[in-house]
Structure 1
Amino acid sequence: MTILPAPDTLACQPNLHVELALLLALATLWGASYSFIRIGVETIPPLTFIAGRTLIAGAILLAVIRWRGLSLPRDPALWRRFLVQACLNSVLPFTLIAWAEQTVDAGTAVILNATTPIFAFLLTLLFTRHEPLSIRKAVGVLAGLGGTVLIIGVGAVDGIGSDLLAQGAIVLATLCYAGAAIFGRVFKGQDPVMPAAGALLCGAALLLPVSLAVDRPWTLAPSWDSLLALVALSVFSTALAFVLYFRLVQTLGSVPTTAQAYLRVPIGVGIGALLLGEALEPNMLAGCAAVVIGVAAMSIPARRRG
């Protein structure tokens, strides 16, 4: 957590290389979350699993805040914003994806979730217009999505439509993520750990009572694999990832930050090739190139003419 600078340094022009490295780190952390969720929901109901995720991650960030000698804000208006952010970025999408991953295969889930930049681009274009949009960004959005389909395999698209309810849940979660990236700009100027902790704690406060009433967690018998997946998901793919996320929304902007949805795919392919010896097909290499071009077009600002 200490790698993140204080808010006053964020006011300076961000180092683009650092921001892109953090974007890559965020994509890696959230890319791993699919596997953690898949393992976790095998023996823990989705609602309880996500309630535990938000509670553990929120508690970790609260401890970090206290360790740094800081305290959570007390402004009621700010906590209302935390609550909105929690609904958009954790309560609804986390629960929807965890429920859907019980039946939806990984390839289809990744493709559907990779539409986040498209929704962010359209919402910004049609409603908020809070950051400049260009043809270059639009091309980047489409190139990234096309690259994702190539990497996973065109055959994965055939699975779209086979389980409309679960796949619709993933699309709705994706729309929530896009809205969260846009709404997150209201926390500009704050230490990124504050909205991250506030949103997660609000999410836990909403989910825990429902989990207790519906799943009765004390009656469950989760496996050690599911418990370890929950801990890894909470510490790395939630607590640390949320701090990076709010930092990037402030420095790169809403649409570029959603570009990490595309980066997750080549990262997963690369991990499989290095650790599992999986072959890299020509379509995968072409897809990785398209993703890199798309993310660059969305994230790297155009040079200003003299």
Structure 2
Amino acid sequence: MLNEVKSPPTGEAGASGGDNPQVEKPVTNQAPPPPAQPTQPAAKPKSNVAVIIIIIVVVVLALGVGGYFGWKYYGKKLFNKLTGKTTETGTTTGSGKISIKSVVDLLMYPGSKITDQKQGEESSAYKAELTLSSSDSVETIKNYYLDLIKKNNWTITRQGSSEDNNYYLTIISKDFTDEFEATKYAIDDFTTIWHKITGDNLSIEGIAITATGGSSTSTSTTTGTTGGTGATTTASYIIADSNTREISESEIINFTPWQLKVARNEIYARHGRPFVHKDLQCYFAKQSWYKSDPNFTETSLSYTENKNVATILAYEQKTNSPLLQVDSGCQQ
């Protein structure tokens, strides 16, 4: 009986295959391991130096700008109150406050007349309220005040007109605020002007505004008399308010030649003009308020004063006043 030959098991070599049979390892489909990620250094916190610098710059600018405007609008006012000083072009009282009369004189429209007035107490909303009348048009009055504002470097915070015959504005100065309005009503042949004046540094002490004749005088001159012509006179002035309002010829028609001469020259004397005529030298030397100023110039006179000088001189020439060019000596 023949012996059955068996094949060698799969994967095994036969006898002819050699003395060291090798076993094949099964192949498996495994994915290769992912490559190793590079290690990143830990993030360092960003520096705050730039932020700190910006904050410092903003704070310095804020303090600088705030300090400037704080001093401009509040510091000076406090300084003036503590020291009694003022930077406003006006007359100051003993307490360092500005007399409202000097403000009223500055805001008076040339040739206008005061038709009404109110004086407030220290705690009132307005220190003074004035109603004026003028024969000039609204446009003429408007241009006058715009020039006055420009000349004094004041500020306008509100202006406009409700119609062609009306104009209003608010004037801001260092020491006062003025609410101004001018209106020409159809039934009137004149223009009405209103001034409402306020200011913490204003004093109403010593002011006395009269609604008759359009004059504004202080209480220091209320001891004088007002003649039938409307000119206010005192013991030391022929026309006490010729430096603050425009006078008319009708006010001086009853003056003597000497009164005309003094009335015209006392306008100059208020500013210290030295006089050549002996009669004027002697007269003004007796006035307690007169002080000769060798540096006097006619530019010291205001618009109103120049106009009053011209009015009186024209009347002297019209009436051939005997003292117009004559020095009568110290006999007057």
State the TM-score, normalizing by the size of structure 2. Answer: 0.22
| Larger RCO, structure (CA 8 Å, separation 6 or more) | 1
Structure (1/2) with the larger strand percentage: 2
Bigger-Rg structure (1/2): 2
Structure (1/2) with the larger helix percentage: 1
State the TM-score, normalizing by the size of structure 1. Answer: 0.24
